[in-house]
Amino acid sequence: MADRLPHRVSRALATSSIERIDVITSLSFTELIDAFESSLGRWEPHVGDALVRDQVSWQEAKISIGAMAGPRGLMIFSKINQGEIASLAGTPRSSVIYLVGNPLIATTILQVDIRAGMLVPFRVELYEDGQGGILSYDAPSSFLGSLDNPALTEIGKALDEKMSGVAAELTSRPGS
């Protein structure tokens, strides 16, 4: 057996402020889900698997991945309806978490700093508070900025703009 390096644990303490954005709409929870999902694209895992399996060129990958993105270049990777399970405890809860991003943007982020891989795709929560549906997310510039790299902060600001556009679309819909 080859010599192995001893196991090491490295810890670094980073303190930063994360800006949370809550967009209050007058849409019902169900209407908000429909509107949100229709404003973003969808990641198709089988397409990603085929790109890797077939070892396509980066240019071909960019075209295929770009076709999955919504009008603002974002897509939904995953949807978790945590409210359904939480409601089993006796109090109805309306809460859905999405993983949102774009592999093309994530590739750029990872080329700048591989540690940012734990930050993208990012989470978006849709929930209802009795008054209407709410879109909630942490500003990408704030969590990417936690790594103290100006290039990541700039990418985060571009993602902030994309999410602001999604929020504006949701609040301009009839009923919101």
Extents of the domains making up the chain: 20-172
Contacts with 98 (C-beta within 8 Å, 6 or more apart), sequence order: 36, 76, 77, 78, 79, 80, 123, 124, 125, 126
Confidence label for 172 from pLDDT (cuts 50, 70 and 90): confident
For the cut 80, the answer to whether the pLDDT of residue 3 exceeds it is no
At 175 the pLDDT is 59
pLDDT bracket for residue 9 (50, 70, 90)? confident
Percent of the chain scoring above 90 in pLDDT = 84
> What pTM, to 2 d.p., does this model score?
0.89
pLDDT band at 176 (very low <50, low <70, confident <90, very high): low
Q: What is the pLDDT of residue 11?
A: 74
The predicted structure's pLDDT at residue 15? 74
Q: What CATH fold (topology level) applies to the domain 20-172?
A: TATA-Binding Protein (3.30.310)
pLDDT, position 14 = 67
Q: What is the pLDDT of residue 67?
A: 98
